[in-house]
Chains A and B, each alone.
Chain A
Amino acid sequence: MERLDELESKSIYIIREAYYHFKDIGMLWSIGKDSTALLWLCRKAFFGRIPFPIIHIDTGYKFPQIYSFRDKYSSEWELNLKIGRNEDAILEGICPHNNDKLKCCSELKTNALKKLIDKEGYMAILLGIRRDEHGIRAKERYFSPRDSQFAWDYKNQPPELWDQYKSESEDSTHIRVHPLLDWNELDIWNYIEREDIPFIELYRALDGKRYRSIGCQTCCEPIDSDAKDINSIIAELQATKTQERAGRTQDKEEAYMMQKLRALGYM
C-alpha cells in the first residue's frame, strides 16, 4: 500500500472507532492545515456528512483569513460549527499583549475548550496533532484520557495495542482522539495536494514570507520563503532542517513550556 493510502485508511478507521464508541464527540478545527486535513478525512469517513459538531476555539486574536475561511467552508461543507470563546477571561483583560503567554494560551484556548466541553457534554474530542510536531507529542496515544481538570497523566497512560483503544470514559473526563498521530508535516502537504484540499492563503509566500504553522496572529512569526504554491511548499519542506513550530511563541518562551501547556490540557 502507498504511504498516503495507508495513513488515510488508518485515520478513517480511528475516526469511525471514536464515533462508534462515544457518539457525543466533536472535532477541533483550528482552520490550520492539519485540522483541515482531519476535517477532510472525517468527511470521507462519513461519506460527506459529518454526524458531529466541528469546534473552533476562538481567542479573538486569530488572523482575519481564518475567520473568512472558516465561514466559507463551514457553509459549503454543511458543518455543524460550534464556536468556543472564553468571554470571562477576555473581559478580565487576559490577552497576548500582557507578557504572560502561558496564561493567555491556557485561558483563551484551553479553558475556552473546557467550558465548551462542560456545556455540550462531549465524551471525546478529535484533534489533528501529529507525533513529529514536537517531542512531547511523540508520547501521545491515539485515544488519550484527560481528567476533569484536563490533566494528562502521561506517566500512567492506558496500554494501546493492535488497534484496540480505550473505549470508555468515566464521568467528568473526556478522551482526546488523535487520528493523525502517524502523519508528518510532509504527508499532510502531500495529501492536501493529492486530494486538492483548500487551505488558507497564509501558508503561501507573500513578499518573501509565509507562515508554516498558524495560531494567533499575535504569537506567530512567518518564515522566509518564496513558496507560493503547494508544490514549492513541498519542495521547501523536503529541504529544510528547521522545525515546523519554530515560529510559535508558546513553544519558545521557556524550556518545557509545551510540556506544561500539555499537562494543563492544551491542544
Chain B
Amino acid sequence: MEELRSRGVEATLPIVIVGHVDHGKSTLIGRLLYDTDSLPTDIMEEIEKSLKESDNPSEFAYITDHLEEERMEKMTIDTAQSFFKTDKRHYAIIDTPGHREFIKNMITGTSQAEAAILIVSALEGIEEQTKRHAYILGMLGIKQVILAINKMDLVNYSQNRFEELKCKLLSFLHSLEIKPNHAIPISARLGYNIAKAGGNMGWYNGPTIFEALDQLETKEDPVLKPLRFPIQDTYISDQKKILVGRVLSGKVQMGDEVVILPSKAKTRIESIEVYQNTKDVAEAGDSIGIVLQDDLAPKRGEVICHPQYSPEIKTRINANIFWMSYDPLQAKDQLTIRCATAEEHCHIERIEQRIDSSTLEIIENHSNILRETDVGKVTISIDRPMVLEDFNEIEGLGRFVLTRSGEICAGGIINSPISLYSECH
C-alpha cells in the first residue's frame, strides 16, 4: 500500500490544477488523494470533526481547503500543496484559487509547476477564469496541459456536450500555442475517468486522468545548456573570497576559463567550495562557492559564463508582462527589475499593447496604463546593463519580476512563447 508518507528520494513532478471557481479543482484533488490512498487516517478524522462542528456536508473539496474561512465559504483562497503517488512516480499537486481577486496566489502556485490540469465544468462551460488561467499557463511557459471536462454526471454524460466544449477549448488554447496532451471527460465527485472508467461514457476510449499524468514528461535537464552562474553574495572564509550562488544551467569545472558579465572581466576558476570540502565540478542546481584565480570583486547579480557561450548584455528588452497589483502601472512609474540575483532600476518605455488576459483582446494600442490582470506587450528600459536572455534558451534568465516600492507587482517573460497577435478575436 503506497501513500503520502512513503515518498522516497526520487524526484517529484509538480502539477497545478487550474480553472474557474467552482468548476471542481479542489474536488478533483480530493479525489486524486483518495483514489491513491494518500490520506492519513487522522486527516480524515480531523476533516470529519471539523465538518461536524461547522455542519457542512462532507465533500472531497474539504480535504484541500485548510482554512476555516475556506471551508465556510467553500472556496480556495490561497495556494496549497498536497502529494500522491502512482505506480510510475510521485506528484505534488498545487491547488490554486479560481477567483479573480486571488490571481496573484494563482500565479504563485502555477509558477512552481511543470504541468497543468485545466478543469472546465461541462455544465457551466468556458468562463472568464478558464481563459485567464489558460493564458497564464501559456505565459509561464507550461507546455504540458491535460484538459479535464468535469461534472459529466450533470450533463447526462453527453458526448455532444463534451465534443462541443473540447472543440472550443482547443481552438482557444491553440491561439496560446498550447496543445493539450489529452482532453478527458470526468466526474471528480463520483470518481469517473480519474483512476478508472465509469459513468455512462462508453463512447470515450482515451486515457484516465492517472494514465494521462503518467504520460507527462519531466523538464529538460538544464545541465545540457551553457553555464550560467548568477552570483548571490560574497563571503570571506579562511581568508578566501568565496562567490556563492546556485548554478542555473550547465556545468562549471575547476580551472575553467570564465567571463563575468556584465563587467566582462575574465579569469579562471581556482576552486569550487562546499562546506569542509572542494569539488572538481558542479552542475545546474548545485549551491556552491567559487574562488576565482584573480582578485576581482564581482557584485551580486553578475553572471559567470564560459566565454565561448556568453550571452548578450542588455539595457532594453521587449517582453510580455502580467500585471498583478491592485494599483495600476502608470507609464512613468519607477520600477525595479529582478532577474535571478540581479536587480536594477527600470521603467516602462512604452506599452505597445494592453491586452485583456481573459479574452486576449487588445484593449488599447500604445497605452500608458496597465491594470490588475492586464497583459502588456512592453519595452522596458533598464538603468544599467543586465544579463537577460530568451526564455526558451535559458529559462532562469528569460523570466523576471517587476517590483514597485518593494512589492512584486508583475511577472514577465522575454520573447514569450505566446504570440499575442492571436487569431482569437
When A16-B233, A161-B411, A242-B41 are in contact, do A186 and B6 touch as well, CB less than 8 Å?
yes
Q: Are the CB atoms of B232 and A13 closer together than 8 Å?
A: yes
Residues of chain A within 8 A (CB-CB) of B5 are: 184-186, 237-238, 240-241
* Shortest distance between the CB of B195 and any CB in chain A (Å): 19
Q: Is the CB of A13 within 8 A of B287?
A: yes
> Is A4 within 8 A of B9, CB to CB?
yes
Q: What 0/1 pattern do residues 44 to 79 of A give for CB contact below 8 A with B?
A: 111111000000000000000000000000000000
> Which residues A123-177 have CB closer than 8 A to chain B?
131-132, 135-136, 138-139, 141, 154-155, 157-164, 166-168
Question: In whole Å, how far is A194's beta carbon from the nearest beta carbon of chain B?
Answer: 9
CB-defined contacts of A8 to chain B, threshold 8 Å: 287
Alpha-carbon distance between A58 and B81 when the two chains are bound, in angstroms? 31
- Tell me the complex Cα distance, A159–B81, Å: 16
Q: A3-B9, A184-B5 are in contact. Are A19 and B233 (CB under 8 A)?
A: yes
Which residues of A lie under 8 Å from residue B53 when comparing CB positions?
Answer: 255
Known interface pairs A159-B104, A162-B111, A166-B408. Does A47 touch B9 (Cβ–Cβ under 8 Å)? Answer: no
Chain B residues in 8 Å Cβ range of A132:
4, 83
A158's partner among B12, B77, B408 (CB-CB below 8 A) is: B408
In contact, B406 and A168 (Cβ under 8 angstroms): yes
| Chain B residues near A180 (CB-CB < 8 A) | none
Contact residues in A for B338 (Cβ distance below 8 Å): 164
Decide if B49 is an interface residue (CB 8 Å cutoff): yes
**B78 at interface (Cβ–Cβ under 8 A)?**
yes
> How far is the CB of A63 from the nearest CB of chain B, in Å?
24
What separation, in Å, do the CA atoms of A19 and B83 have in the docked complex?
A: 30
**Interface size range of chain A in the complex:** 35 or more
Check B408 against A164 for contact (C-beta < 8 Å): yes
Contact of A139 among B10, B40, B67, B287 (CB under 8 A): B67
**Cβ-defined partner of A186 (8 Å) among B8, B78, B107, B108:** B8
Residues of chain B contacted by A242 (CB below 8 angstroms): 40-42
B66 shortest CB reach to chain A, Å? 3
Q: Does B12 lie within 8 Å of A44, measured CB to CB?
A: no
In the complex with contacts A13-B287, A154-B77, A246-B42 CB distance below 8 A: yes
Complex contact A138–B246 (CB within 8 A): no
Q: B80: CB under 8 A from chain A?
A: yes
Does B26 have its Cβ within 8 Å of any Cβ on chain A?
no
For the complex, what is the distance from the CA of A182 to the CA of B316, rounded to whole Å? Answer: 36
Please state if B7 and A184 are interface contacts (CB–CB under 8 Å): yes
Is A196 interfacial (CB 8 A cutoff)?
no
Q: Establish whether residues B401 and A161, one from each chain, have CB atoms under 8 Å apart when the complex forms.
A: yes
Contact status of A186 and B7, CB under 8 A, knowing A132-B83, A164-B338, A255-B53: yes
Least CB distance, A249 to chain B, in whole angstroms? 14
Contact assessment for B43 and A259 in the assembled complex, using a CB-CB cutoff below 8 Å: no
Q: Are A5 and B285 in contact (CB under 8 A)?
A: yes
| Chain A: CB-nearest residue to B282 | A9
- The verdict on B203 contacting chain A, using a C-beta distance below 8 Å, is no
Determine how close the nearest CB of chain B comes to the CB of A75; give it in whole angstroms: 19
Taking A6-B11, A16-B232 as contacts, is the C-beta distance between A243 and B40 under 8 angstroms?
yes
CA distance A2 to B286 in the complex (A): 11
CA distance A6 to B10 in the complex (A): 10
> What is the minimal beta-carbon distance from A22 to any residue of chain B, in angstroms?
12
Question: Closest CB of chain A to B224's CB: distance in Å?
Answer: 13
> Across the interface, which residues of A come within 8 angstroms of B43, CB to CB?
135, 243
Interface positions of A (Cβ within 8 A of B):
1-6, 8-10, 12-13, 16-17, 19-20, 43-49, 131-132, 135-136, 138-139, 141, 154-155, 157-164, 166-168, 184-187, 190, 237-243, 246, 255-256, 259
14 CB contacts below 8 A, A to B, read A1-B285, A3-B12, A45-B287, A136-B66, A155-B77, A159-B107, A159-B411, A160-B108, A161-B112, A162-B396, A241-B3, A241-B5, A243-B43, A259-B68
The 6 closest A-B pairs by CB, nearest first: A135-B66, A168-B406, A161-B111, A159-B104, A12-B287, A44-B275
A20-B233, A48-B276, A155-B69 provided; 8 other pairs, C-beta below 8 A? A9-B285, A20-B300, A47-B276, A159-B104, A160-B408, A163-B340, A255-B53, A259-B68
